[in-house]
Amino acid sequence: MTVRIPEDLDRQLNELAAREHISKHSLLLQGAELVIARRNRRDEIDQGIEFVVSHDAELLHRLAEA
């Protein structure tokens, strides 16, 4: 796989990797893992909201009218 990184971002990645004493490859893998974890968490939250809305619709309606 080839990834084309803009010059400025590449420079920043090199600097961060040097500060963290890890390779740029490892840094990019960590970034990819964070993106996936955030998306998965967002999906879990959305599913939880859908569950509450569908299972507690009557309660939510009564609360809205209170």
Residue pair 23/17 in contact by the 8 Å Cβ criterion: yes
User: How much is the pLDDT for 59?
Assistant: 86
pLDDT tops 90 at residue 64: no
Per-residue pLDDT tens over the stretch 28-59: 999 999 999 999 999 999 999 999 888 888 88
User: How much is the pLDDT for 58?
Assistant: 84
What pTM was estimated for this model as a whole?
0.67
User: How much is the pLDDT for 14?
Assistant: 97
**Backbone angle region of 51, left / alpha / beta, with phi > 0 → left and psi within -120 to 50 → alpha:** alpha
Interatomic CA distance for residues 13 and 5, integer angstroms: 10
Across 14-23, average pLDDT: 97
**Backbone angle region of 30, left / alpha / beta, with phi > 0 → left and psi within -120 to 50 → alpha:** alpha
User: How much is the pLDDT for 57?
Assistant: 84
